[in-house]
């Protein structure tokens, strides 16, 4: 099976651009599994966050999938076009990575 990932790329101050990646996957693989493999096999510069201590608890891998907020660790890859973008209401770091916790809640 093959997913077509359309990923919004860019950094603060840059015009966002969309890049397309084709990704083979097995049924049940998460979007996060795919992104991690994509970074190893196709583009080491792709930025996204994750800290898999407990699924759906850390909130590090939150992003938009087709305009809806998801956890990349629990959303599943599908054999279709899947559009990924950073959270729009958080400060962009780069690509899909945003600042999750407000500055006053981050550990120093």
The string of pLDDT tens digits covering residues 52-81 is 765 555 778 999 999 999 999 999 999 999
Given this model, what pLDDT does residue 103 score? 57
* Confidence check: pLDDT of 104 > 90: no
CATH superfamily of 2-102: Beta-grasp domain (3.10.20.30)
Given this model, what pLDDT does residue 34 score? 97
* Confidence check: pLDDT of 11 > 70: yes
Using a pLDDT cut of 90, give the percent of the chain over it.
81
- CA trace torsion 1, 39, 86, 60 (10° rounding): 100
* Confidence check: pLDDT of 106 > 60: no
């Amino acid at each position: 099976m093959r997913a077509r990932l359309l990923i919004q790329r860019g950094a603060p101050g840059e015009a966002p651009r969309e890049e397309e990646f084709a990704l083979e996957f097995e049924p049940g693989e998460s979007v996060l599994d795919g992104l991690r493999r994509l970074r190893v096999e196709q583009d080491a510069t792709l930025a996204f966050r994750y800290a898999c201590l407990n699924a759906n608890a850390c909130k590090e891998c939150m992003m938009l999938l087709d305009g809806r907020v998801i956890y990349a660790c629990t959303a599943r890859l599908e054999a279709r076009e899947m559009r990924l973008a950073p959270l729009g209401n958080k400060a962009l770091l780069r690509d899909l990575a945003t600042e999750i916790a407000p500055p006053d809640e981050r550990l120093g």
